[in-house]
Structure 1
Amino acid sequence: MKNYFLIPFLLMCSLVTLAQKQSINSPDKKLNLSVSIQDGKPFYNVTYNGLTMLEDSPFGLIADVADFSQNLKIKTTKKNSIDEQYTMDRIKKSSIHYIANELVVTLSNAQNQNIDVIFRVSNNDIGFRYQIPTFGETLSCVIEKEITGFNFPQQTTTFLTPQATPMIGWKRTKPSYEEEYIADDVMGNPSKYGVGYTFPGLFHVGENGWVLVSETGVDSKYCASHLSEGTKEGLYTIAFPNEGENNGMGSTTPSVGLPAVTPWRTLTVANNLKPIVETTIPFDLVKPLYEPSQKYNYGKSTWSWIMWQDNSINYNDQVAYIDLASELNYQFALIDGGWEKNIGYDKMEELINYAHSKNVDPFVWYNSNGSWNDAPQDPRGKMDTSIARKKEMKWLKSMGVKGLKVDFFGGDKQTTMKLYEDILSDANDYGLMIIFHGCTLPRGWERMYPNYVGSEAVLASENLIFTQRSNDLEAFSASLHPFIRNAVGSMEFGPVLLNERHNRNNDGGTIRKTSDVFQLATAVLYQNSVQMFAIAPNNLTDAPEFAIDFMKNVPTTWDETIYIDGYPGKYCVLARRHADKWYVSGINALTKPITLKVNLPMLAGKKVTEYNDDKNLISSKKETKIKKSGKAKITIQPNGAIIFVK
């Protein structure tokens, strides 16, 4: 006898099971994200063109007032379409059209408390975050742990740089996001310091899969995070800051007022590297937090400290670099750390007035420190409190200073994120642009803060002065940055070292291994709207004339960025456009010359200026013509580069 009562019961069970799994596709249908509940725990997975990019990966969080990591069910779901356009003047492109599909999943725990998880899926990009409501009369909470993880297939290799343990390194200033990358490493290998990896992280899934993992939208209402140590099975999870950061000041866990949203976790997913290099997801998901107090203008700067070091922070040497900026027609000159003691406030006013007489606007260096490291450079104690900061910024504005470079932060806690935000907000009130050094990764800040212009957060050019190893690895490191660090935010590297020897007189110190054209190429390869170039006064006479001419004309802002070819750690070719002028820049980190067949439709049929190297790395300039098809065959020497300009 048939059991007719069993049929609707089975149907109901089927519907319940179905409700516990939801999926959403990108507008082009290639990228898919699925959400499921398994034994009361939430998971998501990601496929691209049917290839698994992330296996079932955990998500959820634990707060002091609610647990959204277990005993969960999907209560409701809602789908939306996102279609936004915006313009930017400080990232890799100026006009952005963001189209995405949104899935809002409401999870309910055993206490019938709810939380929303918002997933946005655009072509090649995913962003997701948690939206936490109030719980009755509870209007605040502490996020004790994020369960969020990224579970990669076994065939994945990694391109990661380690998170440093707190209060180590020079004058106890770490973590400062200044560690070396390991390319194509095996998942699960312990990191250098044993505390995980900094964002962003690049993962190579099999032969054809790529995933770039990062976060965006971090402000004073949350801490910055990083990736945990990975398991050999491929799971990396969100990790909060370490307790000892910033000399123990502040909590490692974020405290939020309810309702609240967490930062976005971001994934750029593709079967090639083009979407990785060109992604704008860090900026698509955020909004400006305040209006600019004025129009900010960007450009190029000289910088005495990089080549002449601490002894150059005196009045006469700063005049020499202001004169260099004037000769190069640069907008800015940076007066670096130590000026308070070596020049003094009264002479600084005289120096700033001299800069203005040469049509050069100063950037001025400050130590962020109040109590969290031993870095001795002055001015100290002028940026860490609102009272001191506003007094200093009022003086800077009265002198016509255009921007600050603030250094030595050493932590990712919420209290440090608040310091970043307070410096930026106060600086905007006084019409000052901000560059951060010795600092964390920017996380959507170009769009969030209109006077933010860049962060170091990379093993930057100063290390070319300090160690020969950095010079030996310069091409390798440079070939990584467009795919990883510079893919997610502005990178104030301080490039273009035209000295062959890295000291004041170009006759001692560390030895540059790369060609002149390689150095010029980094002016295009590295994106930052204000570039502190490492050119020295002697380069006006000892560098090739074409190199100086190139550096006089190369822009620092871009309307378009196009990936041409490359592989992280081996070589990279990309094109950038400023107005109607194209720069195509390629570098080679391999030990042998590389010959590539590339497609350059932006230069098709045009006469271009070509900069290249011979086998001895002797650089030269010539005029050449690109075929009407736009196809070109190029050869790049080891430690060398090629540039086309039209």
Structure 2
Amino acid sequence: MRLAITILLLIFTSSLFAQQKQTVSSPDGRVTVSVSIDKGQASYSVNYGGSSMLEASPLGLTTNEGDFTSDMSFVGASTGEASQTYSLETIKQSEVNYEANILKYMMANSEGKQLSVLFQVSNHDIAFRYELPTWDKTVVTVVESEATGFKFPSQTTAFLSYMMGPMAGFARTSPSYESGYQTDVPMDQTNAREGYVFPGLFRVGDEGWVLVSETGVSSQYCASHLSAYHDGLYTVEYPNPEQNNGFGSSGAQIGLPGVTPWRTITVGESLKPIVETTIPYDVVEPLYEASMGYQMGRSTWSWIIWQDNSMNYEDQVKYIDLAAAMDFEYILIDAWWDKNIGYERMEKLIDYADSKGVGVFLWYNSNGAANDAFMTPLNKMNSTIARKKEMKWLKEAGVKGLKVDFFGGDKQETMRLYEDILSDANEYGLMIVFHGATLPRGWEKMYPNFVGSEAVLASEMLVFVQDVREKEAFYASLHPFMRNAVASMEFGGVVLNDFLNKGNKEGQERLTTDAFQLATSVLFQNPVQMFALTPNNLEAVPAFELDFMRALPTTWDATVFVDGYPGKYSVLARKSKGKWYVAGVNAESSEKKLKLEVPMLAGQMVKLYGDDEDGKTYLKEVKVARNGMITITMQSKGGFVLTQ
């Protein structure tokens, strides 16, 4: 991670206001947040461009030191401004300028104990958190629950992904943020028992869109999610107590004075602010400095198509050679390597990869007691002593990064494990990718060696589940507006085999086109991407497709929404080192003809990777009109990419 000098200016006025109702607006005046107390209940509302996006929604916490959800009274308020400029290569936009107005709303409960809510409002984004002072001689408290809610106007429809139940699924490893979606449904139909994961996307009729999430979750708190819809609103829910085998509190223990994570709300008339938001990173800071300059890039990965049987020395040599032939920076060697290859031969394999200019990522099981995941290496990442011993060997062997899998849920106990792995790994110069894991919440900026998480119904489910293969395009059209809008997403995609297995002749048939697969390499943002190419692709796949992958960047200077509707189609533009890529996918059952406005390519001859009516992918040159308009036809379950 490359982080430039950060400037943060907070100018608070200390004067107290006489009225309970306080408002704060964005710098452009279009977003207004109002905060008030009515009959002892604190609430906030959000207005955008004259339209209500959130009606009066509850605020408050319940702690072991007192209730802050009722009998609240207004104490005072102060205002200020936040200004921050930062550079971060691992997110969707490398240079960010954040400007926001601030309202700090102070209140007290019936016992006279104070609680503040800090709102930061930028032109399309709202971030707020609770700030807890020291109460008398109390220096620690347990936050047991939140009253924080989101009350949308009645015409709102929801786009949500289910929260998985605890200790279920494969080897009792859920929740792992790998569920399907409800899309564009009335809110009263969103009644999943466990609620829904962040982020949640909402369409407020014809008024606009709202994306709700959280950021800034570290070892100091638990992660949370959205409840099912009840009593007219969604609320922030803490982890199910049964997660992590029932071990650890479902709330959060924090020292005083202390703060909660940020709740974030992105609003807009269109989906453009949703796709382009940087709010998960705008309000957090690095928790430590990078120990070295980490190199992002692309990786081969045998397990996704060749599966467990490929975890042997000979097959890994083939995938190292594939990475070298594709000019990829890395190879990921997955589970069972310690049993099937062994530590001594792994050192030789790492040396061979290094001789080919390829770095190595190794897979590890996070497990100790969280679930029944049995794949090895096991019990190497779950304790400080074992972890540092292993990481010392990893550094000496020349390993560049780890993929750590199978975490236990969202409790604070598990958040500590994520942070411990990341901070220890940084000391040994190791990058970290998490799988079977929670949503990253600002981690790209908080932890400089963090380079992505799965936390999505990803490519492995294409291999295992027919329904997921049938819905591949549908899910892909959702991710830019939801999961990938708030955090890096290591999907493990770009499958160019016709069948998702080593034989590539029958079995799990791929139902999307090659152009679709190429498009997802641009649509899905993650600074280190583990692609699903196989050695046979070097001969079976058209050369122009391989050349596209050889030149593909994984870090981006800019991301621009072009067109789309979640669940139907998606078109984005991304820029890397002055070169633009425009990519789209079509999830609908028939071809889609689009007139796209791409001013960044106006008047230029560009390369078009697309599909014909038979689903065959082609490459040709086309010219974008001087006014930046171009007409593109996407086949069903197909896609396209335009490049300079």
Query: Which TM-score applies when normalising by structure 2?
Result: 0.97
Q: Deviations over 1:360-417 (max 9, x none)?
A: 1100000000011111110000000000000000000001110000000031000000
Distance 2:551 2:17 in 1: 62
| Aligned match of 1:397 | 395
* Deviation at residue 190 of structure 1 after TM alignment: 4.8
Aligned AA (1:431): G
Distance 2:546 2:207 in 1: 41
Distance 1:468 1:111 in 2: 57
Contact 2:18 2:76 in 1 (8 A): no
Aligned AA (1:186): P
SS in 2 for 1:283: helix
Cα pair distance change 1:624/1:190, threshold 3 Å: closer
Distance 1:474 1:616 in 2: 19
Alignment match of 2:510 (pick from 509, 512, 515): 512
Contact 1:382 1:388 in 2 (8 A): yes
Aligned AA (1:237): T
Distance 2:148 2:101 in 1: 21
Distance 2:621 2:195 in 1: 48
Distance 1:619 1:351 in 2: 36
Q: Deviations over 1:540-561 (max 9, x none)?
A: 1111111111111110000000
| Aligned match of 1:163 | 163
Larger mean Cα displacement after TM superposition, 380-389 or 351-360:
351-360
| Aligned match of 2:337 | 339
SS in 2 for 1:374: coil
Cα pair distance change 1:293/1:17, threshold 3 Å: closer
| Aligned match of 1:251 | 249
Distance 2:333 2:232 in 1: 46
Aligned AA (1:448): M
| Aligned match of 2:48 | 48
| Aligned match of 1:200 | 199
| Aligned match of 2:77 | 77
Distance 1:370 1:642 in 2: 44
Contact 2:51 2:207 in 1 (8 A): no
* Deviation at residue 66 of structure 1 after TM alignment: 2.1
| Aligned match of 1:501 | 499
Within 5 Å, which residues of 2 pair with 1:398-413?
Answer: 398-413=396-411
SS in 2 for 1:422: helix
Larger Rg computed on CA atoms: 1
Distance 1:512 1:452 in 2: 31
Distance 1:598 1:549 in 2: 25
SS in 1 for 2:508: coil
Larger mean Cα displacement after TM superposition, 76-85 or 452-461:
76-85
* Deviation at residue 23 of structure 1 after TM alignment: 0.6
Within 5 Å, which residues of 2 pair with 1:357-396?
Answer: 357-396=355-394
* Deviation at residue 509 of structure 1 after TM alignment: 2.1
| Aligned match of 2:304 | 306
* Deviation at residue 637 of structure 1 after TM alignment: 1.1
Aligned AA (1:361): G
* Deviation at residue 202 of structure 1 after TM alignment: 0.4
Aligned AA (2:160): L
* Deviation at residue 145 of structure 1 after TM alignment: 1.2
Distance 2:608 2:511 in 1: 21
* Deviation at residue 17 of structure 1 after TM alignment: 10
| Aligned match of 2:86 | 86
* Deviation at residue 204 of structure 1 after TM alignment: 0.7
Q: Deviations over 1:102-151 (max 9, x none)?
A: 00011112222111110011011000001101111110010011110001
* Deviation at residue 592 of structure 1 after TM alignment: 1.3
Cα pair distance change 1:536/1:81, threshold 3 Å: same
Larger mean Cα displacement after TM superposition, 287-296 or 504-513:
504-513
Asked if 1:175 corresponds to 2:175, the answer is yes
Q: Deviations over 1:9-64 (max 9, x none)?
A: xxxxxxx9961101111111111110111101101000111111101100011111
Q: Deviations over 1:439-471 (max 9, x none)?
A: 000000000000000000000000111112111
Asked if 1:27 corresponds to 2:27, the answer is yes
| Aligned match of 1:418 | 416
SS in 2 for 1:643: strand
Distance 2:207 2:93 in 1: 26
Distance 1:234 1:548 in 2: 51
Distance 1:258 1:224 in 2: 19
Aligned AA (1:24): V
Distance 1:43 1:211 in 2: 18
Within 5 Å, which residues of 2 pair with 1:311-326?
Answer: 311-326=309-324
Alignment match of 2:592 (pick from 578, 582, 594): 594
* Deviation at residue 191 of structure 1 after TM alignment: 4.3
| Aligned match of 2:481 | 483
Q: Deviations over 1:315-335 (max 9, x none)?
A: 111111011001101100001
| Aligned match of 2:215 | 216
| Aligned match of 1:565 | 563
Contact 2:182 2:190 in 1 (8 A): no
| Aligned match of 2:5 | none
Within 5 Å, which residues of 2 pair with 1:448-487?
Answer: 448-487=446-485
Distance 1:268 1:368 in 2: 33
Distance 1:523 1:439 in 2: 21
Distance 1:17 1:118 in 2: 16
Distance 1:578 1:471 in 2: 30
Aligned AA (2:228): E
Contact 1:129 1:265 in 2 (8 A): yes
Distance 1:418 1:97 in 2: 30
Contact 1:167 1:247 in 2 (8 A): yes
Contact 1:408 1:437 in 2 (8 A): yes
| Aligned match of 1:3 | none
* Deviation at residue 234 of structure 1 after TM alignment: 3.6
Q: Deviations over 1:201-241 (max 9, x none)?
A: 0011112321100000000000000011112x540001000
Aligned AA (2:246): G
| Aligned match of 2:139 | 139
Uncovered stretches (5+) of structure 2, i.e. residues with no partner? 1-15
Contact 1:94 1:560 in 2 (8 A): yes
Aligned AA (1:223): C
* Deviation at residue 189 of structure 1 after TM alignment: 2.2
Count of residues in Structure 1 that have an aligned counterpart in Structure 2: 629
Contact 1:153 1:234 in 2 (8 A): no
Q: Deviations over 1:177-218 (max 9, x none)?
A: 0000111122132545x1101111001111232110000000
Aligned AA (1:539): N
| Aligned match of 2:12 | none
SS in 2 for 1:294: coil
Aligned AA (1:163): M
Asked if 1:152 corresponds to 2:160, the answer is no
Contact 1:465 1:509 in 2 (8 A): no
Contact 2:17 2:76 in 1 (8 A): no
Distance 1:426 1:98 in 2: 30
Distance 1:33 1:430 in 2: 44
* Deviation at residue 508 of structure 1 after TM alignment: 2.1
Distance 1:464 1:541 in 2: 23
Contact 1:130 1:261 in 2 (8 A): yes
Alignment match of 2:582 (pick from 563, 581, 584): 584
SS in 1 for 2:385: helix
* Deviation at residue 510 of structure 1 after TM alignment: 1.1
SS in 2 for 1:424: helix
Distance 1:62 1:234 in 2: 21
SS in 1 for 2:393: helix
Aligned AA (1:197): Y
SS in 1 for 2:480: coil
Q: Deviations over 1:612-639 (max 9, x none)?
A: 1111111100011111111112111111
Contact 1:191 1:197 in 2 (8 A): no
Alignment match of 2:606 (pick from 596, 605, 608): 608
Contact 1:162 1:191 in 2 (8 A): no
* Deviation at residue 76 of structure 1 after TM alignment: 0.9
* Deviation at residue 73 of structure 1 after TM alignment: 1.6
CA RMSD of aligned residues (A): 1.1
